[in-house]
A = this chain, B = another copy of it.
Amino acid sequence: MADQADNNAAAPTVGVALLGMGTVGTEVLRILQEDAQDFTARTGGPIEVRGIAVSDLTKPRPGVPAELLTDDAVGLVKRDDIDLVIEVIGGIDYPRTVVLSALRAGKSVVTANKALVAAHSAELSEAADSSGADLFFEAAVAAAIPVVGPLRRSLAGDRVNQVMGIVNGTTNFILDAMYKRGASYDEMLAEATALGYAEADPSADVDGYDAASKAAILASLAFHSQVGSSDVHVEGIRSITKADIEAAKAAGCTIKLLAICERMVDDNGAESVSARVYPALIPLDHPLSSVSESFNAIFVVAEYAGRLMFYGNGAGGNPTASAVLGDVVAAARNIVHGGRAPGMSTYADLPVGDFGSVRTRYHVDMVVDDRPGVLAEVASTFSGQGVSLKTVRQEDAGDAGARLVVITHHAAESDLESTVDNLKNNDAVKAVNSVIRMEGN
């Protein structure tokens, strides 16, 4: 609990350990110092940073009191004068060790670490529950856009059926630029890298793993069930071509990398959860289609609230610091006034459904023989697997044959997969150029 030693003050001081002094850690420290009076007023007691853990003690850190620095994070979080731990290190294994130590010692933790929360939420929750500490992680999903709070609290009296979001700014920047400027994936990745939107190794972003961590967290919160990052079906955007973007335009759509969390109900009424990340077409009149550049947005469909959308900056030092500090105030209030935030509730305990049973629509772009009877043959390949067609567009592809673009009605992934296998084995089908899902009715 909070240090009551300085008890000439009306309220106890909340002692904070800051782990990590990268972009976010530096901003968090600066804002806590500059706006100290606001934090005291909003918390009910002063917040004091009493230790800062860094990996390299020799690096010059202007403005940071040297006596606060340590490279022993585990030792720091266990100190008696620390009530609250802010983890902005990144990575998984090392912060896991430190955060677990903190929670088990009864210290509340605020983390911005999506990979950690997505991979180890059960273990972290258990540690928090065992000591009664709070675990906050608003910044782990879409930075300052409040979505963890709304799912945990505002929608706690509702029943969420779907969460669909653009939760990775790098890939949204690339896809938005491809759409608007007609550029290729490689050109736009190079530009994103030059602008600092993409890392030197872009795979966490472009292969969808960053979005998958967020999908796991969103699905867990939305459905009160345990969903880890390994439960998420992931496909990235490397395979999206200029031709795909052109085809999306022709269908009145754009292409976005979506994190989709859905409540699935089978024919017997049994519920399960789907969490998946892939690039998909969405119609231009859907609110997510106009989310441009590196912005993020999360679209939620709830039983009673209806359709909600949250929009803003999903990354960056300042927006992430804003989310961290909102959580710091909440955690510090509980330390000063008592009380505990809602934990990672998993009471509903829904299983993660098989990806093959996910139902969505598909945009299939093929080259076929240009002769009578081929369209009927292709159509029956779809209907043979129970996949019905919504629109069909055929155009002359010159010597190559005919280009055939179909959009299906909702169908199961497994049925679509069999259909594509059969198409590839069909002599009349020269090539299946792309299969892209279509979301957002």
User: B-contacting residues of A (Cβ < 8 Å)?
Assistant: 27, 31, 35, 38-39, 41-42, 138, 143-146, 149-150, 153-159, 224, 287, 290, 302-313, 316, 318-319, 321-330, 333-334, 337-340, 342, 345, 347-348
Residues of B near A334 (CB, < 8 A) are 339
Residues of B near A39 (CB, < 8 A) are 157
Contact B31 A322 (CB under 8 A): no
Bound Cα distance A311, B342 (Å)? 24
A-B contact pairs, 28 of them (CB 8 A): A27-B304, A41-B224, A42-B342, A138-B154, A143-B305, A144-B305, A144-B306, A146-B149, A146-B150, A146-B308, A149-B154, A150-B150, A153-B153, A155-B322, A155-B326, A157-B327, A157-B328, A157-B329, A302-B322, A304-B321, A305-B323, A306-B313, A308-B312, A309-B311, A310-B310, A334-B339, A337-B340, A338-B339
User: Contacts A150-B149, A307-B312, A311-B308: A144 and B302 contacting too (C-beta < 8 A)?
Assistant: yes
Residues of B near A345 (CB, < 8 A) are 41-42
User: Contacts A149-B150, A304-B319: A156 and B312 contacting too (C-beta < 8 A)?
Assistant: no
Q: Considering only CB atoms, which chain B residue lies closest to A329 in the complex? A: B156
Bound Cα distance A39, B342 (Å)? 13
Bound Cα distance A329, B342 (Å)? 10
Contact B342 A340 (CB under 8 A): no
Bound Cα distance A138, B146 (Å)? 15
**Min CB distance, A364 to chain B, in Å?**
31
Residues of B near A290 (CB, < 8 A) are 290
Residues of B near A149 (CB, < 8 A) are 146, 149-150, 153-154
